Structures are given as C-alpha cells and as structure tokens.
C-alpha cells in the first residue's frame, strides 16, 4: 500500500500529530510519500529511521498511490483536487482546522484511520466536480472545483450585473456583488453562508446563489447538474474576479464563461462511523436544543 501525505506549509499541524501518523504507518510497514515543502518544514523535528520520499507535483504521485491524506482544514483538502486530478486516488481529510465538513477525521483518530485503511473498513464517496469553460485560458490544467465557482465584483466597485443562462435559455439577471454556483459538496460552504440550501452530496444538482443581491425577491435556486450554466457580465468596472474553490483569476468584461459537470469525480474516504447526517448534526449542531 502506498499513501501520500499533503499539508500546506502554513497549516497549523503539530509535529507530534504528524509523528503519530508516521509511526502508525511504519508499524504497518507503510512508507509514505510526503509533500516536499511540508516535509522540509517538519523534518528537523521528526524522529525518522531514514529519509522519506517526497512529491511536489501531480505527476510525482504516479499510479501506485492508493490514498492521499490531507492534514489541515477544508481549504487544505480542496488543494488536493489539483494533485489527484482524474487519477481516482481517494482523499482522506484529517481535520486541523475549525469546522471540518470535508476533513472529517479528528486528529485524535489517526490510529483508528490507519487501522481502517489496513482492514479496508471504510467507504469512498464519489463527489461531483464543476468544470469551467471560457474563451480564454483560465486556471491552467485544473479548470475544475470541488466546492464552487464564483463571479464577484473587484475590490470596492459597484455591484455588477450577471446575465445567467441554462442551456442557452435566459434564467435571470443578478444585480449583486457576485454569484456562486456550488456543487452539493460546496452547498455547506460559501453558498450556505449566503443563504443557500444544504444539498445532499449525492443529489445530481447545482445551487446558484447570489451574493448580496439588490433585488430581495431573488433567492437561491437548485438546478439539475446536466445543465450548462453560462454567464455574461456587466459593470462599471472593466475587471471582475472569477474563482474555483480558493483559486482566483482576474477577468475582463469580454470574458465568456460557462460551468458544467466535470467528466470525472473525486473520491472522499470516510470511516463507517461517519456519514452526511452525522456531519450535519455534529458540525451545524442540528438537533441540539440548549433549553434542554
């Protein structure tokens, strides 16, 4: 079994937790592949029998990697989309952040996670990705996102107009600070904070959520994910912001943008102890009444 480990160099990951993971893997005779910048930062404080192999780019993972462990918060896990791409490598998130919707494994459960991998007592959920098409190259070789695509006004400029179409048919013009198109996975992220609904991960749909809409009767809408959603942007400024998850590009008003369902999916690994309903109750405190 080959396991890769990724973390941002600035992530708040205690070396003791990384050491615990490495020791648990070594006990099972598994030598991991570690993200090179993260390894360079942590190496002076680690106790190792020898040097570990590292990776720095997607092509370094190769076909032999069975899993990729993300150590950090949900933002760190979103980074892994750029590494696993369409390889089918499942991603596991150990949460060192705050809420941890995607990174659902607690840092105290490292030993249990390794045992689940060895004993294959886990489940892999296939998560839909968004793909961005545009008339100019954007986002290099990774024009897709796990959580959401957004169009947003730049800096403190006035609100913008976003003409939105479904399969070429006019849907609405959003007068707003921006617009979010989220996957079911992303429905508990930025879209939720802007009033969007929570959508089950296996729902075949996208959520279109305006950001600070000027017309208060405009509400989020759920559309089937086989639709192609396209946009035309107007505003007083000449430039706007376009994002895929945490990655950002500046675009001008002549840009042509459309999003659709990506042809491949991302595998998120979870243990049998957790599911989406459990996550909702634990993370959003559903069902908890402090009056009782």
Give the catalytic positions in this structure.
74
CB 116 within 8 A of CB 3: no
Supply 193's token pair. 């904070």
Angle at 285 between CA 290 and CA 189, to 5 degrees: 145
Q: How many CB atoms lie within 10 A of CB 246?
A: 12
Residue whose token pair is 């462990």: 69
d(CA 134, CA 143): 9
Report CA-CA distances (Å) from 275 to 68, 74, 289.
20, 16, 22
9, β-bridge pairs: none
Supply 163's token pair. 């003409």
d(CA 261, CA 245): 15
Distance between terminal CA atoms of the chain?
Answer: 48
Largest pairwise CA distance in the chain: 63
CB 130 within 8 A of CB 142: no
200 Cβ contact list (under 8 Å, min separation 6): 184, 276
Residue 102 per-residue DSSP state: S
Taking only Cα atoms into account, the Rg of the chain, rounded to an integer number of angstroms, comes to 20
């Amino acid at each position: 079994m080959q396991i890769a480990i990724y973390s941002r160099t600035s992530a708040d990951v205690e070396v003791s937790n990384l050491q615990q993971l490495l020791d648990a893997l070594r006990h099972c005779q598994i030598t991991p592949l570690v993200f090179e910048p993260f390894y360079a930062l942590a190496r002076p404080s680690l106790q190792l029998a020898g040097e570990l192999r590292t990776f720095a780019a997607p092509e370094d993972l190769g076909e032999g990697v069975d899993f990729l462990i993300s150590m950090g918060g949900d933002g760190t896990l979103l980074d892994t989309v750029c590494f696993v791409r369409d390889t089918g490598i499942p991603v596991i998130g150990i949460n060192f952040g705050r809420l941890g919707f995607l990174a659902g494994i607690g840092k105290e459960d490292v030993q249990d996670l390794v045992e689940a991998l060895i004993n294959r007592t886990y489940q892999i959920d296939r998560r839909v990705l968004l793909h961005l098409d545009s008339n100019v190259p954007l986002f290099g070789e990774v024009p897709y996102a796990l959580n959401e695509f957004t169009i947003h006004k730049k800096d403190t400029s006035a609100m913008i107009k976003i003409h939105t179409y479904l399969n070429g048919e006019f849907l609405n013009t959003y007068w707003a600070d921006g617009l979010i198109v989220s996957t079911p996975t992303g429905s508990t992220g930025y879209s939720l904070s802007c009033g969007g609904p929570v959508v089950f991960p296996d729902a075949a749909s996208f959520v279109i959520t305006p950001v600070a809409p000027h017309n208060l009767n405009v509400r989020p809408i759920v559309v089937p994910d086989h639709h192609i959603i396209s946009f035309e942007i107007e505003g007083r400024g000449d430039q706007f912001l376009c994002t895929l998850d945490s990655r950002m590009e500046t675009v001008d008003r002549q840009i042509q943008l459309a999003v659709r369902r990506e042809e491949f999916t991302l595998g998120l690994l979870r243990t049998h102890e957790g599911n989406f309903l459990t996550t909702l109750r634990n993370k959003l405190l559903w069902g908890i009444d402090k009056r009782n």
